[in-house]
Amino acid sequence: MARYVFITGGVVSSLGKGLAAAALGAVLQARGFKVRLRKLDPYINVDPGLMSPYQHGEVYVTDDGAETDLDLGHYERFTGVPTSRRDNVTTGKLYLDIITKERRGDYLGATVQVIPHVTDAIKAFIRDGNEDVDVVVAEIGGTVGDIEGLPFFEAIRQLGNELGRERAAFIHLTLVPYITSAGELKTKPTQHSVKELRSIGIQPDIVLCRSDREIPEDERRKIALFCNVRPARVIQALDASNIYAVPAQYHAEGLDREVLSVFGIKDAPEPDLTHWHQVSHAYAHPEGTVRIAVVGKYVEIQDAYKSLREALDHGGIANNVHVEPEWIASEVFEAPDAIHRLEGVHGILVPGGFGERGAEGKIAAARFAREHLVPYFGICFGMQMAVIEVARHLAGLDGASSTEFGPCEHPVVGLLTEWMGPAGLEIRRAGGDLGGTMRLGAYEAVLRSGSRIAEIYGATRISERHRHRYEVNMEYRGVLEDAGLKVSGVSPDGLLPETVEIPDHPWFVGVQFHPELKSRPFDPHPLFASFIKAAVDQMRLV
């Protein structure tokens, strides 16, 4: 029967609860346990699909087409376990389901309430389908004390009782800040946060303390005393040199040992963390640095391109180099001479994106890469912009554009209105609902044998995750191919373009899907490994 670890946060947000959950999952997995990670988000949006990347960071897409919190990306990258729509829920989604049931009459006249109906739905979500797992790590978004988080805390409190002491462990992640003027680490915020948690009925078993320096024994004892936990269960989580070092660091501090002791498990094998040491070492000891211009829209927000950032690092690990992204807001290239900024970069990447703002700058960046023979990687929107670029400047279609920006003379990128999904024909119309209606999740693609992309994958049939509403218009395929841009991958029915490339260029590839979502530290995505290799070659040239 599955055991459960509940991770809550206190003091401030952004302490890295998602990474903590993922790293704990990885260490338990390294001890031989089968793990699953789940995230519960107290906000009212049904999913993060329509939330601005400025507010919420990246939207992580699962194989089964759910638009989820970016923490699921950490979970997958750290454990290799694919996530699904059953691993992320929000208040909005729970209420949508409950209200739909209420309207159907399913509650048979009962008054529908937060307790028990909402809390029951939360518990059911957490426990659903865990027959095949040893440990489920469930992370509650937000911090203790948030009004909207209350039903979630209440639900895990109840679950703690229902599961019994050896099947539930509560970890509270807090911050122990260093106050320069006092020259001291302060434990009071942690004490208050645990007090808040206890006031709603949850006694944490373990307090995990983020700190930028070693927490002295005395301070740990103080936290233990005031928070009513054993001293060994006050565990420091010091800032790590890189994220791949975190699992081994947690293990060295005894986090997994203490979790297992809460469960009453004494005979678990020591974890084999060799591969974590290897990847962390490789990351920390690169032989050179390649500079990649990432030309996007949300470049000020680190979290907006989380998976992309990590996939680039994985590509670096695969080639023994450090990847230094140069985040450039594409709008800058709308100024006449700004394009010179791209001189000297070793690769140009245009990531996924939405909307007209900055699109011309992305098209200009694609043109620069093509004309100056700099490796170019276009992902989703980045592929669409490269197609517009080639249509305009090689095929002579001056009025080429995407219907995403309004009607145009040559819609080389157009609205996707019908396609075959896993559950049958999907149909969309302009003006329909925006939430959850894109082409989402895993779709297969067939790659032309002999193409660069087939060579990179070492396969001609692949599956990758999608999240887009528009697609390259196949009516222009012939014109584009004559101009030098080949459609090298298509959907199995041959109707949708999936990848494009310019054979006559050192490395110019566009993909309609998001390969960054499936890249992992131990298994760098072939496209990122190959793109970074091309950037290394470019570095040797310049």
Question: What does the binding site for ligand GLN look like in residue numbers (CB under 6 A)?
Answer: 352-354, 380-381, 404, 467-470
Nearer to ligand GLN, 139 or 471 (CB): 471
352: left (phi over 0), alpha (psi -120 to 50) or beta: beta
Nearer to ligand GLN, 231 or 436 (CB): 436
Q: Transcribe 367-386 into DSSP letters.
A: HHHHHTT--EEEETHHHHHH
Residue 511 DSSP SS3: strand
User: What's the closest the beta carbon of residue 475 comes to ligand GLN, in angstroms?
Assistant: 17
Nearest CA-CA partner of 248 in 5, 512, 23: 23
- What would the two tokens of residue 244 be? 């791949």
6, containing H or E segment: strand 3-9
User: What's the closest the beta carbon of residue 413 comes to ligand GLN, in angstroms?
Assistant: 7
* Amino acid type, 359: A
Nearer to ligand GLN, 260 or 380 (CB): 380
Residue 182 DSSP SS3: coil
Name residues whose C-beta falls within 8 Å of residue 14's C-beta, 6 or more positions apart in sequence: none
Residue 137 phi/psi, 5-degree rounding, is: -105, 115
User: What's the closest the beta carbon of residue 415 comes to ligand GLN, in angstroms?
Assistant: 8
Measured CA to CA, the distance from residue 472 to residue 411 in angstroms comes to 9
Q: What is the CA radius of gyration of the chain?
A: 25
User: What's the closest the beta carbon of residue 412 comes to ligand GLN, in angstroms?
Assistant: 13
User: What's the closest the beta carbon of residue 305 comes to ligand GLN, in angstroms?
Assistant: 11
Nearer to ligand GLN, 350 or 395 (CB): 350
Supply the residues annotated as catalytic.
380, 514, 516
User: What's the closest the beta carbon of residue 383 comes to ligand GLN, in angstroms?
Assistant: 8
Burial letters for 443-465: b for 16+ Cβ neighbours within 10 Å, e otherwise? bebbbbeebbbbebbeeeebebb
Residue 159 phi/psi, 5-degree rounding, is: -60, -40
> What is the separation of C-alpha 180 from the centre of its chain, rounded to a whole number of angstroms?
34
Characterize the bridge pairing of strands 88-90 and 35-41: parallel
Q: Is 101 exposed, middle or buried (0-12, 13-18, 19+ CB in 10 A)?
A: middle
Query: How many residues are listed for the chain in this entry?
Result: 542
Nearer to ligand GLN, 198 or 428 (CB): 428
Q: Quick check: 279 and 244 in contact, CB under 8 A?
A: yes
Q: Quick check: 472 and 384 in contact, CB under 8 A?
A: yes
User: What's the closest the beta carbon of residue 188 comes to ligand GLN, in angstroms?
Assistant: 44
User: What's the closest the beta carbon of residue 23 comes to ligand GLN, in angstroms?
Assistant: 28
Report in angstroms the alpha-carbon separations of 335 from 189, 341, 382.
48, 11, 20
DSSP 249: H
Measured CA to CA, the distance from residue 34 to residue 351 in angstroms comes to 34
Nearer to ligand GLN, 305 or 470 (CB): 470
Measured CA to CA, the distance from residue 37 to residue 75 in angstroms comes to 6
Nearer to ligand GLN, 369 or 380 (CB): 380
Nearer to ligand GLN, 59 or 318 (CB): 59
